[in-house]
Amino acid sequence: MKEIQLPDIVNMEDPESVFSEVRQIALMISPQFAHKFVDNVLRDIVRLFHGEYPGYRRCTTGYHNLKHTTDTLLAMARLMHGAFEAGENFTREELNLGLICALMHDTGYIQTLDDDVGTGAKHTLIHIDRSIAFMDNYIAGRGFSKRDFKDYSKILRCTSLGSKIERIRFPSRPVELLGKMLVAADLLGQMADRTYLEKLLFLFYEFREGGVMGYSSELDLLKKTIDFYLRTQRGFARELRNVNGYMRCHFKVRWNLDRDLYREAIERNMSYLKFILENHGKDYRDYLRRDGIYSKQPNQ
């Protein structure tokens, strides 16, 4: 009998399936959770990435797309639930704040209608500033209470490239915890994705357009991804205080699985990447598995 893996639980290709699971998790944290508030933001984010939000083009980045945002959202909800089961308490406002920050964290990649040169990847190094600006305007335009969202910029800044979390002055422990969990959710969501390795090719071209240095080719980025994975493991322990450990608490309570399915999925991805690099450095594209694009796809 096949062991349950991360994609078996929720259809991550379907935003509605993700949203349904997030609602269920939120109710496990707070039985009085009013999902209509977050649902409105969910719909607007889908519209934004699809090019249906007033003043904005559709998403033009293949790596930082709607799928990445929904992956991050679900990972964030799971971490928050795991933290709750481990004894952390979140107010209704903090629960909303954590979920909405996950939805908003990469809105800075979306181009405005008059920004018609290149793709949103050119904003890579400033996308957090743009995400904060988008959330500023969104909150003001929807009449939300600024009191409930006053700390969102600190949470979003945690996910910036090269962010020094220890230098951020958090107003409270819950806000600090939400910031660290969003960083973890951002990393776990993308690295556990079954198509993570294929999407790294998109990331290379986003980095090149956005002026992120250090990667000379697609293959070079693939090679350096192994070191990136090792750095994230150290970062979880040092800067993030092992908040990724809350995943196991979540899966144990929600699915009766005493396992961390994210860690397992990431390790499978890294194992397969090592296989490609060791055996197929010259034809690595043939062994990446994006549906309908690459044909030589061994079973993983």
Q: Which fold has domain 9-287?
A: Catalytic domain of cyclic nucleotide phosphodiesterase 4b2b (1.10.1300)
Joined together, the tokens standing for residue 215 give 């990667």
**Predicted local distance difference test score (pLDDT) of residue 1:** 64
Find where tokens 């800044």 sit.
157
pLDDT band for 298, please (50, 70, 90 cuts).
very low
Q: What is the mean pLDDT of residues 125-132?
A: 97
- Tell me the residue type at 38: V
Give 56's DSSP letter.
B
Per residue in 57-110, pLDDT (tens digit) is 999 999 999 999 999 999 999 999 999 999 999 998 999 999 999 999 999 999
299: pLDDT confidence band, cut at 50, 70 and 90?
A: very low
Please check whether residue 174 is in contact with residue 94, taking contact to mean a CB–CB distance below 8 angstroms: yes
Region of residue 242 (left: phi > 0; alpha: psi -120 to 50; beta: else): left
DSSP letters for 82-99:
HHHHTT----HHHHHHHH
- The number of beta carbons lying within 10 Å of the beta carbon of residue 201 is 20
- Cα distance between residue 267 and residue 172, in whole Å: 34
**Region 257-273 average pLDDT:** 97
186-198 average pLDDT score: 96
Stretch (H or E) spanning 81: helix 66-85
Half-sphere exposure of 216 (CA within 13 A, CB side): 2
